[in-house]
């Protein structure tokens, strides 16, 4: 029996944006969670050199795995072995590997709602059962240890994301420790999506591996390293599960792109350039947080990390998809409908990505203000 997988509605918004752009419209792309910047300059130069010198082929870079191990020691104080790292064709295949190599069809996997659309879709596609748990402002749109302790029966696994998509919220260290303790006591396996690590605006993000060495971690070069199109990520698994992860990777995906691996090794030491991107996101975040209340968007998740604003537009619409389409057609600003991330309550939310240039954010604010003023006036809202 085929699994029923929901569409990713932001793709239809992006398709409309591309059509409008082809007609000569000025479009600001705030619908997808991808940096508008490219890979670090030194990484691109290294890729050019490899293209000139090597034919390349199926390959997993031992130096890159060793560099990732060093990254965990330096940033989190976590000691890993290279065998625990499986290089993947991006975070999405890493999630497929994590789920398929750890759980069986019919297993229940808990996750926060709102959450990234691929969590529930991938779980469903693998014939597992997503258990989406409503998480609101009172828990900063995140799962808590108390929530997981109250589930009866306990799920087989849980997907955590900190910073989260679409909210940008971060799970504090003490809560991560409490979640790890509950999961250990109840036999719940943890998959932690840490692809937005490095993108935080308050305290540094903490890895679940600091509190649960037996957890599985998904990460990627797409966000902080600004290499979305290079399709490269990694999976961290316990030592006892390393050979199974490698077997699944080889059977389903062979190896990740060789060129991307060469570039990523260089990118990991391009911190000055990458921190410059973070400074841009920080400024963009400040501009939006200052401007959005004037648009009537004062009910938003705290964007502690990542590069998103999760905004409640329930006063203006009960159809976030139609709302985003109209907003795009009228202003040229593309945003993501909340139903992608929350199939129950997402009809009254939208997500705005601020991973664009600061001039684009300023332009977007100028376009959005009169549009929202008009919508609020039509609704009789002050």
Per-residue tens of pLDDT for the chain, all 382 residues: 677 887 888 999 999 999 999 999 999 999 999 999 999 999 999 999 999 998 899 999 999 999 999 999 999 999 999 999 999 999 999 999 999 999 999 999 999 999 999 999 999 999 999 999 999 999 999 999 999 999 999 999 999 999 999 999 999 999 999 999 999 999 999 999 999 999 999 888 999 999 999 999 999 999 999 999 999 999 999 999 999 999 999 999 999 999 999 999 999 999 999 999 999 999 999 999 999 999 999 999 889 999 999 999 999 999 999 999 999 999 999 999 999 999 999 999 999 999 999 999 999 999 999 999 999 988 887 6
pLDDT in the model for residue 1: 62
How many residues can be counted in the chain? 382
pLDDT in the model for residue 204: 87
Quote the distance between the C-alpha of residue 272 and its chain's center. Answer: 23
Pairwise CA distance, residues 133 & 199, whole Å: 25
Name the 3-class secondary structure at 312: strand
pLDDT in the model for residue 382: 64
State the chain's maximal CA–CA distance in angstroms.
66
Nearest to 121 by CA among 324, 335, 340: 340
Backbone angles phi, psi at 289, to 5 degrees: -65, -30
Give the other-Cβ count within 10 Å of 86's Cβ.
28
If you classify domain 9-39+271-372 with CATH, what class do you get? alpha beta
* H helix intervals, the chain: 9-22, 41-53, 62-76, 91-102, 117-125, 145-150, 173-186, 242-253, 258-267, 271-291, 320-331, 358-378
Question: 273, exposed or middle or buried, with CB in 10 Å at 0-12, 13-18, 19+?
Answer: middle
pLDDT in the model for residue 373: 93
- The contacts of residue 255 (CB under 8 Å, 6+ apart) are 58, 59, 60, 87, 249
CATH of 56-267, one of 3.30.300.30, 3.40.50.880, 3.40.640.10, 3.90.1150.10: 3.40.640.10
pLDDT in the model for residue 308: 98
What token pair was written down for 179? Answer: 């979640």
Q: How many Å from the N-terminal Cα to the C-terminal Cα in the chain?
A: 52
Cβ(233)–Cβ(91) under 8 Å? Answer: yes
Nearest to 364 by CA among 313, 318, 327, 314: 327
Sorted by where each begins, the domain ranges of the chain are 9-39+271-372, 56-267
- Same topology, domains 9-39+271-372 and 56-267? Answer is yes
Query: How open is the CA angle 273-207-235, to the nearest 5 degrees?
Result: 80
Nearest to 352 by CA among 268, 259, 288: 288
Pairwise CA distance, residues 10 & 115, whole Å: 14
């Amino acid at each position: 029996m085929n699994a029923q997988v929901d569409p990713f509605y932001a793709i239809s918004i992006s398709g409309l944006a591309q059509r409008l752009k082809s007609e000569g419209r000025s479009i600001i792309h705030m619908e997808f969670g991808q940096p508008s910047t490219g890979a670090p300059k030194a990484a691109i130069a290294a890729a050019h050199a490899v293209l000139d010198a090597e034919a390349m082929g199926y390959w997993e870079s031992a130096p890159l795995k060793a560099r990732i191990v060093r990254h965990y020691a330096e940033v989190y104080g976590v000691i890993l072995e290279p065998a625990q790292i499986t290089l993947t064709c991006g975070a999405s295949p890493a999630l497929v590997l994590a789920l398929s190599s750890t759980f069986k069809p019919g297993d229940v996997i808990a996750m926060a709602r709102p959450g990234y659309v691929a969590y529930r879709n991938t779980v469903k596609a693998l014939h597992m059962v997503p258990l989406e748990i409503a998480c609101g402002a009172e828990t900063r749109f995140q799962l808590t240890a108390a929530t997981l302790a109250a589930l009866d029966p306990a799920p087989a696994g849980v997907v955590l994301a900190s910073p989260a998509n679409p909210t940008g919220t971060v799970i504090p260290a003490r809560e991560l420790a409490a979640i790890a303790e509950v999961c250990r006591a109840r036999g719940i396996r943890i998959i932690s999506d840490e692809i937005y690590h490095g993108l935080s605006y308050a305290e540094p993000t903490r890895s679940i591996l600091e509190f649960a060495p037996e957890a599985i971690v998904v990460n990627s070069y797409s966000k902080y390293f600004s290499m979305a199109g290079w399709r490269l990520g990694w999976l961290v698994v316990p030592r006892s599960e390393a050979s199974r992860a490698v077997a699944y990777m080889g059977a389903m995906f062979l190896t990740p792109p060789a060129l991307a691996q060469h570039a990523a090794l260089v990118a990991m030491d391009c911190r000055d350039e990458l921190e410059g991107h973070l400074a841009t996101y920080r400024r963009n975040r400040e501009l939006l947080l200052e401007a959005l209340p004037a648009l009537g968007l004062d009910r938003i998740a705290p964007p502690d990390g990542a590069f998103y604003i999760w905004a409640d537009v329930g006063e203006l619409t009960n159809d976030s998809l139609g709302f985003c389409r109209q907003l795009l057609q009228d202003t040229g600003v593309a945003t993501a409908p909340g139903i992608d991330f929350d199939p129950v309550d997402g009809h009254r939310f939208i997500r705005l990505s601020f991973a664009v240039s600061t001039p684009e954010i300023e332009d977007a604010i100028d376009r959005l203000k009169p549009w929202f003023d008009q919508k609020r006036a039509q609704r009789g809202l002050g």
